[in-house]
Structure 1
């Protein structure tokens, strides 16, 4: 089998970057060359994995992407503390400005990518892309590209509940269309701004759809979810998408996690708590959860996030702004998570039960899937009941069936050869492309 050279990249969000790195490790194991293309601050991730690296030209950026993301979060913070329907029923002050900033973010990333793939001195056989909107550079370049969907795959099942609603597959379908309508109205400004950029790039056929947040595959695409939790009961998936049960990346650090000294002699189970890179920036919500967990008889590892210095931890806790999550998950008895698909998959891969606090978008769908498949509990931040939350922790440890179900999913993910099969499918598409131009 010939060796091919792949450009791999993702939007500038922790979950998507970690996901693309995991997939790329499979490419390298299959004998291919991987070039990770992203911001300079991620170079070390490529170097550790034996990938080459090309940095985005950040001189074209007139804005700071971190500030755009956090500003967007702050502008919409009140909405994100409401249930999925109520958050889009009314427009909050500065909401349009928040979504305009998000469209600027997409545009900047696309400009940076275009500079690299339009460089005639840099040659690739194909690109693996984890983006959340159509990217003009992909459409305007002859190189084959393959999208990854590292979101909950409900976005790929048109007959299922509306994505990002948190509705069960068993819920009242009369509510589904109403949510879709409200959701689209709530994203009207974002849709308009992103589609203007697509029009300006000459892509009248490519439309941004925030009800999916993934682009249609050029040939084939791949999504990340265990077979036991997939939405096959919802009817056919969209064409040309293929499930990969696991492409969990290797830990960024080889150092094992050691339980901090202040927790070693404390009683109770060890629990990991994280609201992800974005949810943790809502320090009001984070502190609220921390204060409740302070009343638990267990001990906690807290991923505090970028604004973690503003948080006050209790005596039964240890935390840092950023922790080596993969090593921590392996060491704990339970994960309390926002339900972002990356953390969700990592937790399942290592066979840990979870309690999910959905904060936004596909986190609601993962939270409900945990309930429907009886592998943990969902606790909503917008109607948080302190006693219920603490009781869920005890119920997880008392329920052996939850533990057994999660361990079965973990074994299936670990034993799956679906990533190797996905890479063979990609290789075949490259061969067909090369044969067509000979």
Structure 2
């Protein structure tokens, strides 16, 4: 087999970065050369995995998607604590206009990646990208490209409930169109600005769809979800998308997780709690949840998030702003998560039941899938019930059948060869294109 040279990149958000790294590990394991393009602060993630690294900070100036989203959360945090339909219906013109920062970042990132690919010193056989919209640089160059969808795959099933609604596949379909219409109206400004940028790039035929947050594959694309949870009851799915049961990345650090001395002699199970890098920025909801979990007889490892210095943990807790999440998940009995697809997949891969507290977008769909497949519980941040949350924890530890279902999913993910098959599909596409170096 001829080794190929791949450019791998992702939007400036940790979930997407981690997903791209996991898929790139599959390319590396197959003998290919991987160049990971991202911000300088993430260089260590590439170097640890034996990837070459290309920074694009200087080309992005001060644009930062994560900062823009933090500002968005701060300005409209109270609205994030509403059920999804109400949130969409009540999205103000001011809030819609705040999407402009996201669209502007899309354009800035596209320009940075275009400069990397246009550099004659950089020669790539293929591009693998985890990006939330069509990016013109992919269409400009003749290099085969392969999109990753590292979010809940309901976006690929038009006959299923509307993505980002949190509706069950068993819910009344007569309510689905109401959400679809409200969602499209709420994201109208983001859609307009992004499509204006695509038109300016000469891509009139390419359109951004906020109900998908992925581009249509040039040839083939890959989504990340276990076969046991996939939405087969909603088939057919969009063409040219292929499921990979697991591309969970290796831990960022090799050190084993050890229960902190503060918690070592305390009774109870060990539970990991994280709302992700964005959800944890809502200090109001974080403080409420910490106060509830303080009343549990169990002990907690807390990922406090980027604003963790403002949080005070209870006696049955230990945490840091950032923890070596994969190692932590391996060493706990239960995970309480926001349901972001990356943490969702890691939790399942290591066979841990979960309680999902969704904050926005596909987190609601993952939370409902947990309920529909009876592998955990869903707790909504807009209707926090202290007793219900604490009781859900105990029910999971008492329910051996639920724990066994999760272990079966884990076993099937670990024994799947779908990632190596995906790499072979990419190899075949590049071979047919005749663009090898």
Q: Which of the five TM-score ranges fits, normalised by the shorter chain? A: over 0.9
1:393 aligned residue: 393
1:425 aligned residue: 425
Flag the 1:423–1:234 CA change in 2: closer, same or farther, 3 A: same
SS in 2 for 1:364: helix
Unpaired runs of at least 5, structure 2: none
2:139 aligned residue: 139
2:168 aligned residue: 168
Per-residue CA deviation, residues 218-277 of structure 1 (Å, 9 max, x unaligned), is 000000000000000002110000000000000010000111111011111000000001
1:329 aligned residue: 329
SS in 1 for 2:34: strand
Per-residue CA deviation, residues 370-409 of structure 1 (Å, 9 max, x unaligned), is 0000000001111111101110000000000110000000
Where does 1:26-175 land on structure 2 (aligned, <5 Å)? 26-92=26-92, 94-175=94-175
Where does 1:259-274 land on structure 2 (aligned, <5 Å)? 259-274=259-274
Q: Work out whether residues 35 and 52 of structure 1, in 8 Å CA contact, stay in contact via their aligned partners in 2.
A: yes
Q: CA deviation at 1:352?
A: 0.1
The count of corresponding residues between Structure 1 and Structure 2 is 437
Task: State the distance in 1 between where 2:60 and 2:130 align.
Answer: 22
RMSD of aligned alpha carbons: 1.3
SS in 1 for 2:214: coil
Q: CA deviation at 1:111?
A: 1.2
Q: CA deviation at 1:109?
A: 1.1
Q: Work out whether residues 96 and 186 of structure 2, in 8 Å CA contact, stay in contact via their aligned partners in 1.
A: no
Q: Work out whether residues 38 and 57 of structure 2, in 8 Å CA contact, stay in contact via their aligned partners in 1.
A: no
Q: CA deviation at 1:292?
A: 0.4
Q: CA deviation at 1:60?
A: 4.3
SS in 2 for 1:76: helix
Task: State the distance in 2 between where 1:365 and 1:62 align.
Answer: 33
Per-residue CA deviation, residues 357-376 of structure 1 (Å, 9 max, x unaligned), is 01000000000000000000
Task: State the distance in 2 between where 1:333 and 1:96 align.
Answer: 40
SS in 1 for 2:431: helix
Q: Which of structure 1's runs of 4+ aligned residues deviate more than 2 A?
A: 57-60, 62-67, 91-94
Q: Work out whether residues 221 and 241 of structure 1, in 8 Å CA contact, stay in contact via their aligned partners in 2.
A: yes
Q: Work out whether residues 13 and 65 of structure 2, in 8 Å CA contact, stay in contact via their aligned partners in 1.
A: no
Q: CA deviation at 1:101?
A: 1.1
Q: CA deviation at 1:66?
A: 3.5
2:296 aligned residue: 296
Q: Work out whether residues 75 and 98 of structure 1, in 8 Å CA contact, stay in contact via their aligned partners in 2.
A: no
Q: TM-score, normalised by structure 1?
A: 0.98
Q: CA deviation at 1:75?
A: 2.4
Q: Work out whether residues 134 and 208 of structure 2, in 8 Å CA contact, stay in contact via their aligned partners in 1.
A: yes
Q: TM-score, normalised by structure 2?
A: 0.98
With 214-223 and 67-76 compared, the bigger mean Cα shift is at: 67-76
Unpaired runs of at least 5, structure 1: none
1:236 aligned residue: 236
Q: CA deviation at 1:58?
A: 2.2
Task: State the distance in 2 between where 1:75 and 1:295 align.
Answer: 31
SS in 2 for 1:9: strand
Flag the 1:47–1:294 CA change in 2: closer, same or farther, 3 A: same
